[in-house]
A and B are shown apart, each in its own frame.
Chain A
Amino acid sequence: MNPMLRLTNVTKRFGGLIAVNDVSFSADEGCITGIIGPNGAGKTTLFNLLTGNYAPDDGDILFRDVSLVGRKPHEIVALGVARTFQSIRLFSSLSVLENALAGRHCRMHAGLLASMFGSAAQRREERAAVERAVRELEFTGLAEFLNDKAGSLSYGNRRLLEIARALASDPILIALDEPAGSMNQPETEVLVRLIRAVRDRGISVMLIEHDMGLVMQVCEKLIVLEYGIKIAEGSPTEIRDNPRVIEAYLGQD
């Protein structure tokens, strides 16, 4: 069987800067894959290429044998790739539940007329969506904040709400951009358990992270980038002992 996600020779240039340079790798279904590298290595650019925010200048991205290149972000979500943002992007004046419901949007069908006149199918769909959104909030431990404004949550909980919103869209692959950013130690521990629970639901996880402890703990496979080039790929133990990676991180010559 082909891998779930396959990047081949993906390149992205911004003017003279090559942010992602001829990167190829693949990720298997049901795996937790980590993308690591020093600041400015092109990790977030790679994510933005995957989720359709940028189009690659070269190369192809195949998700379950369907090319993601040239598709809009919302179409890619509908194909089953959901994401969270490095700088938390919630709808902060909306409630926690409304944020989770926003993730459910792409799996719903009610159009303008059904919504205005409230057809029976529309009402059924709404009830099911609310129930599913509540389930995801329970899953991420946010059920008690249902009716609170998203903007009133603590930073850690905001990150969890982004994950709940992404989960509500029935993803096959969830892409987490620095999920542990601005989290303290106990919060990170909760996050580790949550990421594993997501994977146990059969959802593949891809994450960018600076917290090496977290990466080594949860990831089954790591991709290391430096200056937009993939310098290593392998299991956490292989990566830990890879001289090229140690050099990139510690700056030896």
Chain B
Amino acid sequence: MTNAPCPENTPGAESPAAPFGPRGTKPGAALSRAKIPALVASAALAALLPLALNPYWTAVFVSIGLGALLSLSLNVILGRAGIFNMGHAAFYAVGAYVTAILNTRFQIPVLWLLPVAGAASGLCALLAARPIIHLRGDYLLIVTVGIVEIVRIALINDVGGLTGGANGIFGIARPEIFGIRIRRDIQFYYLIWGAVALTVALFSRLDRSRVGRALSCIKEDDTAAEGCGIDVAGYKLLAFGLGAFWAGMTGALFAAKMTIISPGSFTFWDSVLLFAAVTLGGGSQAGAVLGAFLVFGLPEIFRDFASARMLVFGLALMAMMVVRPQGLLPPAPRRYGTRFLTRGESPAAGEGT
């Protein structure tokens, strides 16, 4: 490849000013540093919270944690890459069932099955998405609704005599870490919220990378992304596979937590709730976790109004679309340390400005 260096100095380049337009204001580049205290504070809060919670609320927080993991995994697909996937519960189900089957039949420890469950879900997602990934928006959404229904019905029909039909699978072992058997809710709390923290850390790095930027570009305008050198179909599949991989691992944790799984936990409705959580969140990691709190946590707080739950939910979503369509916490623009870099001037800047 010819790699001609940019000319540093061209005759006639007198003014360092941009050729036209008003001078822009530059916001500081230290945003990520300002985030650190907030992160430390929320980690400390999360670590100390169970001390103040009764067993019921600890259990609620465990299920919110699982919701947060799922919401983070769907966020890669829907929030970052903008792929309308309303069948995410299917990949969660594959992970949970792979774990349950391998654990109950071959006594393989649940935590060893995390990558296996993830890989199985990721593979299913790649196979299912490969022929449909070029579809846009609503068309893709309808197909993914089909996928989650196919998976649910297959599970009910006890495919291959493996899934236990409508009753599901019983007697999944508890996970064990360093000889400690995780069985109490408070232990699950730390396991699952630890996984949330790890996920946020990894996905945040991904966001800032070449891959994360490619997904953002695809979400904005896939024709432009393809036109500036991004393999759009490839990256859409990558996002789908990664999101499904994470959902599969979350399914493994869910199976270990519940010890019983059945098709009723992986319905279209669960996919819709996840879709709502990510949409409410707005695409950032913090938004995905907040979305999980709103979708899976608020109904617990307002249990007395349980019958009105769906009404409130629908109204809240409608209000959001009108008032804040970008979601509650849209991703902050990426900042890079560039201050030391800016020095050159444009050869096109000159007397004409």
Residue ranges of A at the interface with B (Cβ–Cβ < 8 Å) = 51, 53, 72-74, 77-78, 80, 82-83, 85, 89-95, 97-98, 101-103, 105-108, 110-112, 114-118, 122, 125-126, 129-131, 134-136, 138-149, 152-154, 156-157, 160, 165-166, 169-170, 172, 186-187, 189-191, 193-194, 197, 200-203
Q: Is B32 an interface residue (CB 8 A)?
A: no
Do A53 and B352 touch (CB < 8 A)? no
> Apart from A97-B336, A143-B342, A146-B26, what 6 extra A-B contacts exist at CB < 8 Å?
A74-B227, A74-B230, A85-B224, A103-B228, A141-B348, A187-B19
Are A89 and B227 CB-contacts (below 8 A) given A97-B336, A193-B347? yes
The answer to whether A138 and B220 touch across the interface, beta carbons within 8 angstroms, is no
Q: Which residue of B lies closest to A204 (CB)?
A: B2
Which residue on A lies nearest to B207, using beta carbons?
A: A115
Q: Given the complex, which residues of B lie within 8 Å of A97, measured CB to CB?
A: 336, 338
Alpha-carbon separation in the docked complex, A140 to B209 (Å): 24
Q: How far is the CB of B314 from chain A (nearest CB, A)?
A: 27
Interface: B225 (CB within 8 A): yes
Interface centre among B203, B238, B344 (most CB of A within 10 A): B344
Q: Are B348 and A130 in contact (CB under 8 A)?
A: no
Distance in Å: Cβ of B325 to nearest Cβ of chain A? 12
At the interface, yes or no: B346 with Cβ under 8 Å from chain A? yes
Contact B346 A89 (CB under 8 A): no
Instruction: Check A157/B341 contact, CB under 8 A, given A77-B227, A140-B346, A165-B228.
Output: no
* Contact A143:B18 (CB < 8 A) given known A112-B211, A135-B6, A203-B4: yes
What class of interface size applies to chain B in its complex with A? 35 or more
Partner of A190, one of B2, B214, B349: B349
Nearest chain B residue, comparing its CB with the CB of A101: B213
- The residue that B227 contacts in the complex, of A83, A114, A144, A156, with Cβ under 8 A, is A83
Q: Is residue B184 within 8 Å, beta carbon to beta carbon, of the partner chain?
A: no
Measured CB to CB, the nearest residue on chain A to B238 is A112
- Give chain B nearest CB distance to A243 CB in angstroms: 35
| Other-chain residue from A73, A112, A152, A201 in contact with B7 (beta carbon distance below 8 A) | A201
Q: How far is the CB of A68 from chain B (nearest CB, A)?
A: 14
- Which residues of chain A have C-beta atoms less than 8 A from B216's C-beta? 91, 94, 98
Q: Given known contacts A77-B229, A110-B209, A135-B344, is B6 in contact with A190 (CB within 8 Å)?
A: no
CB nearest to B242 among chain A residues: A112
Contact B230 A144, beta carbon cutoff 8 Å: no
A82 touches B229 (CB 8 A): yes
- Is there contact, CB below 8 Å, between B347 and A194? yes
Find B18's partner among A72, A73, A144, A152 (CB 8 Å cutoff): A144
In the complex, are the beta carbons of B220 and A94 less than 8 A apart?
A: yes
Q: How far is the CA of A93 from the CA of B217 in the complex (A)?
A: 9
**CB–CB B19/A160 < 8 A:** yes
Give the 8 A-B residue pairs with the shortest CB-CB distance, closest first.
A106-B229, A115-B209, A141-B346, A77-B229, A194-B348, A89-B224, A138-B344, A190-B19
Tell whether, in the assembled complex, residue B206 and residue A146 are in contact, meaning their CB atoms are under 8 Å apart. no
A163-B205 Cα distance, complex, nearest whole Å: 28
Smallest beta-carbon distance A252→chain B, Å: 36
CB neighbours (8 Å) of A116 from chain B are 202-203, 205-206, 209
Sample 24 A-B pairs with CB under 8 A, ordered by A number: A51-B227, A53-B227, A101-B213, A103-B228, A105-B217, A106-B228, A112-B206, A115-B205, A116-B202, A117-B205, A118-B205, A138-B344, A138-B345, A143-B346, A144-B17, A144-B26, A145-B21, A147-B26, A157-B20, A190-B19, A190-B20, A190-B348, A193-B350, A202-B2
With A102-B228, A108-B210, A115-B210 as given contacts, are A80 and B338 in contact (CB-CB < 8 Å)?
no
- Does residue B27 face the partner (Cβ distance < 8 Å to A)? yes
B interface residues with partner A (beta carbon < 8 Å): 1-7, 10, 12, 17-21, 23-24, 26-27, 29, 202-203, 205-206, 209-214, 216-217, 220-221, 223-232, 238, 242, 333-338, 341-350, 352-353
If the complex has contacts A115-B211, A147-B333, A194-B346, are A82 and B1 also in contact, measured as CB distance less than 8 A?
no
Contact of A98 (CB < 8 Å), options: B10, B231, B334:
B334
Chain A residues whose C-beta falls within 8 Å of the C-beta of B27 in the assembled complex: 147
Assess the A105–B227 pair: CB atoms within 8 A: no
Kindly identify which residue among B12, B217, B344 contacts A94, using a CB–CB cutoff of 8 Å.
B217
Nearest residue, chain B, Cβ from A96: B24
Given contacts A139-B346, A201-B6, A201-B7, contact A117 B202 (CB under 8 A): yes
A177, B287: Cα distance in complex, Å: 39
A154 touches B1 (CB 8 A): no
The reply to whether A90 and B224 contact each other, CB–CB distance below 8 Å, is: yes
CA distance A166 to B291 in the complex (A): 37
From A115, A165, A169, A194, B212 is in contact (CB under 8 Å) with A115
Residue of A92, A107, A125, A135 most packed against chain B (CB within 10 A): A135
- Across the interface, do A72 and B226 meet the contact criterion of CB distance under 8 Å? yes
Residues of chain A within 8 A of B230, CB atoms compared = 74, 102, 105-106
Instruction: Take A98-B213, A144-B26, A146-B342 as given contacts and tell me if A73 and B6 are in contact as well, using a CB distance cutoff of 8 Å.
Output: no
Query: Which residues of the other chain, B, contact A129 by a CB distance below 8 angstroms?
Result: 210
Measured between alpha carbons, how far is A191 from B10 in the docked complex, in Å? 15
Asked if residues A139 and B220 are in contact (CB atoms below 8 Å), the reply is: no
Contact check, B10 vs A197: say whether CB atoms are below 8 A apart: yes
Closest chain B residue to A135 by CB distance? Answer: B6
Contact residues in A for B333 (Cβ distance below 8 Å): 94-95, 98, 147, 149
Taking CB atoms, residues of chain B closer than 8 Å to A91 are 216-217, 220-221, 224-225
Docked complex Cα distance between A197 and B242 (Å): 43
Bound CA span A166–B224, Å: 11
